[in-house]
Structure 1
Amino acid sequence: MWARRVVRAWCVVWAGLCVGVVLAFCPSGCKCNNHFPSATCVGVGLNVLPILFNPGLRRLNLAHNLLTSVGQSLVFFENLEELDLSNNLLHSLDTGSLENQKRLRELRLAHNNLTSLSPGALLGLQHLRLLDLSHNGMVELPAGVLVDTPHLTVLLLAHNKLHALPHHTFRGLHSLLVLDLCNNYFRDVPSLSLEHLHVLKSLQLCRNRITRLGSHAFTTPALVSLSLETNNIDFAASDAFSQLQELKQLNLNDNLLREIPRAPASLQLLIFSKNNITTIGVQDLENLGRLSKLDISRCPHLRELHPDAFSHCVSLEHLLVSHNPLLRQLPDKLFASLPRLASLDLRANSLETLRASSLPLPTLKHLDLRGNRLVCNCSLRWLPPLLAASNTSLVVPDVQCAAPDKLRGLFLSRCVALVPSVTCDHPSKNIVPNYPPKYQPGLETTTMPTAVHISAKECGEKEVPVVEV
């Protein structure tokens, strides 16, 4: 029945060609363009691949339909360059199904029910550049199945059930630049399989089950970007990244590491948030002189930063040290050795104070201190004018006092009016509202504590109400 239907359809097309007219059929709900031969049939309920399209099609989009098989339906479309069969019900790709698509450059098969690829499934695709097999149920990728795609540059295998790869899986892929293996079941880095990828630039291994990075774990010397986000990595050998001398971006977010592993000196971006680190020592970042962005946020056990922790990161421009609940203080002049620092995010730590001498204020463009436990005493005298200034390029979101009790919840920018007249002979002196003595909340004494007095009205009536006499 199927063979008879194919023969009948081919006869119709051939008859049209014989009289010099190409009969281009466009199914209901589809959009067809004969000037740049293309057809788009997205979400129109197709359960069979139409074969009466313009045989000169270069782009065919059949995404979001009910196709279960390709069969030999594509035999008529030798000029295809882009084919999208994503979000269908495909359960297999038969040997030779795409053999006539020798010009195909992009093949999208994401969001189907593929569990594996048969040998020869990609036969004929010698010009394929992009292959998207993500969001399937693939449990294996047989060795040799990719040998028919020697010019492949992007291979997307995320959201499958792969747990291992044969040694020669990627043999012959001399042009592969991007490999996405995120959201699979890998417990180890597939080092032996990767050693054939000599020009690979981007490797994504995020959201797997990797627990350790052994010696020379990565054998792809041209790698520029590596993501290991959201694994269970609790150990990294000192030479785990030693062969990645071109690496510029490393994402280790959301793992179990207790120390920052030694990274290549070429690194420009390091994301080390959500790890079990407790301290950052003077040697942890010592070889990262080219680092421009560093994220050490949401580390629940981080308590201490060495005074020279960032002293070698002379190219650092963006630094995030936020949401670390046990981080209560920062060493004096911790950031002063960063001549290019433009953005500093210190949100939601447990900082009680921050000295101006710690910051490279001439270069800073953005400083965020919100969500800390700031004690509004004379050690923060420098901050209110900065918060209220309108003639500066430095952006500083307003912050609230956490202590003393009289100033809790008060926004510091509202206390700027009297700061120029304040004299502080001791940094721990509190800046308190000027209540009439006998009406100070919680105090029965008529004597004022030794402090700098700023009126409640100047500091914001809503936060610290004035008691009328």
Structure 2
Amino acid sequence: MINLLLLIALLGGASCSQDLCQQEKCLCGYNMYKNTKTHFSMDCSENEFDTLPNIKEMPEHFDELDVSQNNIKLLTKGSFASATLKVLIANHNEITEVSMEFLKRIPNLKHLDLSHNHLKKLDAKVFQAATSLHHLDLSFNKLSTLQDGLFKPVKTLQFLDLSYNNVGSYLMNLKDLHDPKLGITKDLPNLKLNRLNITDLPTDFFTNSSLIYLSLDDNRLKEIPKLPYTIQYLDLSGNLFTTLNVKHLNYHKLKKLRLTRLPLLEKIEKYAFYNLQDLEFLYIENCPRLMDFNDMAFGALVDHEGLKLKSISLAGNALNRLNTTYYHLFNDLERVDLSNNPWICDCDILWFKLIKNKLMNKNSVRCALPSKLRNSSILTLTERDLPKCTVGSGWNTHKVLVSIIAVLCAMLVAIVAYIIYLGPFKSVVQNKFVGTQSPYTVVVREDMITT
């Protein structure tokens, strides 16, 4: 039955689509959805077109057109129209203008990619006819400002990318993300604001939103901004943070956190990730000054059953030591990347060998010091390399130290108790409250004291 429907669809649109595709040098194709609806798409990319293909007749289910990597300059005049088109990919062209009249002729458009073009300005009314848009990509253009209420008509928007434009100053002067001047719906879940030269944002810029995905790569932020508690994916790579602490990472639904290419990051503080209980993927990579990863960045790791972490990457930093307490956490993960750090190879590094089955890029987990072991693979070290150590000795040493401290504390408590109750303060304690009827009177019998 499905094959019959597909055959009927192919025959119905064969004459016009075949001629069109041969004439315009486009690749055309039918696909079948699970619900048996046919899907007709045209790939007209890399054809040196100056305008959109001259489409007069198309099959009933024509819904995707790719005209990327051409020389198209205007999306305004022309005979192009489609009541069924849902996806228009027009990236890597020379587009300088898009008109409302153009978008009015494709009223059911849901996905519009205008990235990598020459747009300097968008008319305030351009999206009034594009009320069905879900996905809008305006990245890598030359926009320096946005017209008042530009996005207000697009109440269905699910994804917006303004990255790599010159609108950073404009955004920093808004009250918040949903300022009427911008008109972005509060229900927008996915937003990319990469490389806008943002240095600071109002305190509540994001807090009234329902963002799930936010990318702020390659800006000039010195502190992590306050975010909505709905956030699940966060990318802050390429900013100017010097430390990470619990104050700025308090998002219980966050699942993926990317903190790569941070040129000034030096320290991960105590409890920095303690409140990220739903965190599954953590990437802290290529931070050339990061030497201090606190022993308790995730809190006390004695009991980490509440953590949902699956993968961590600490590759390409300046870390030379990592406390053995992380063995308990890393051993339960699916993926650990500790490659390309200048590790100091002594007894405290040998616990890496206990998690070798979890390690990625194993061949790049190497010693920087001592000089005699420089560039040696940590996972191949033997007792001959470190004659005073055995695998896991660092871990065992840690356990011994904890035991010694516990014993010393117990002895101190016993001494204090002896001084108070059996030493020179005995009579003071016993007679703190006068009167035999006092409930606080301590009665001491001779047979309770042993010498």
Match of 1:317 in 2: 280
Corresponding residue SS for 2:143 = coil
Q: Tell me how far 1:403 sits from its aligned partner.
A: 1.5
- 2:272 corresponds to 1:291: no
Measure the CA separation in 2 of the matches of 1:68 and 1:322: 43
Task: Kindly report which structure 2 residues correspond to 1:225-374, keeping only aligned pairs within 5 A, or say none.
Answer: 225-244=190-209, 246-285=210-249, 287-335=250-298, 336-337=300-301, 339-359=307-327, 360-374=329-343
Aligned 8 A contact 2:96 2:117 in 1 = yes
Q: Tell me how far 1:243 sits from its aligned partner.
A: 1.3
Measure the CA separation in 2 of the matches of 1:402 and 1:77: 64
Q: Tell me how far 1:240 sits from its aligned partner.
A: 1.2
Aligned 8 A contact 1:95 1:119 in 2 = no
Q: Which of 189, 196, 200 is the equivalent residue of 1:224?
A: 189
Corresponding residue SS for 2:325 = helix
Most deviating of 111-120 and 228-237: 111-120
Q: Tell me how far 1:87 sits from its aligned partner.
A: 4.4
Q: Tell me how far 1:78 sits from its aligned partner.
A: 9.4
Q: Tell me how far 1:395 sits from its aligned partner.
A: 5.4
Measure the CA separation in 1 of the matches of 2:258 and 2:40: 45
Aligned CA-pair RMSD: 3.7
Q: Which of 368, 375, 381 is the equivalent residue of 2:344?
A: 375
Corresponding residue SS for 2:160 = strand
- 2:166 corresponds to 1:185: yes
Match of 2:79 in 1: 97
Match of 2:416 in 1: none
Q: Which ranges of structure 1 fall in alignment gaps of 5 or more residues?
A: 1-23, 25-31, 46-56, 191-211, 428-469
Q: Which of 365, 368, 373 is the equivalent residue of 1:402?
A: 368
Instruction: List per-residue Cα deviations over 1:123-177 (Å, max 9, x = no partner).
Output: 4433333344444333322232333333333334333332223224334333333
TM-score by length of 2: 0.67
Measure the CA separation in 2 of the matches of 1:299 and 1:124: 45
Measure the CA separation in 1 of the matches of 2:376 and 2:227: 43
Measure the CA separation in 1 of the matches of 2:332 and 2:370: 32
Match of 2:151 in 1: 170
Match of 2:402 in 1: none
Aligned-residue identity in percent: 29
Q: Tell me how far 1:400 sits from its aligned partner.
A: 1.8
Measure the CA separation in 1 of the matches of 2:118 and 2:79: 20
TM-score by length of 1: 0.65
Corresponding residue SS for 2:282 = strand
Measure the CA separation in 2 of the matches of 1:87 and 1:410: 47
Change (3 A) 1:342 1:147: closer
Aligned 8 A contact 1:83 1:107 in 2 = yes
Q: Tell me how far 1:42 sits from its aligned partner.
A: 8.0
Q: Tell me how far 1:293 sits from its aligned partner.
A: 1.9
Change (3 A) 1:314 1:36: same
Match of 1:411 in 2: 377
Measure the CA separation in 2 of the matches of 1:64 and 1:421: 58
Measure the CA separation in 2 of the matches of 1:117 and 1:319: 40
Instruction: List per-residue Cα deviations over 1:268-306 (Å, max 9, x = no partner).
Output: 222222221111223121x21222222223222222222
Measure the CA separation in 2 of the matches of 1:422 and 1:68: 67
Change (3 A) 1:386 1:215: same
Query: AA paired with 1:283?
Result: K
Q: Tell me how far 1:93 sits from its aligned partner.
A: 4.6
Q: Which ranges of structure 2 fall in alignment gaps of 5 or more residues?
A: 1-10, 27-38, 179-183, 399-451
Q: Tell me how far 1:372 sits from its aligned partner.
A: 2.0
Q: Tell me how far 1:223 sits from its aligned partner.
A: 2.1
Query: AA paired with 2:167?
Result: F
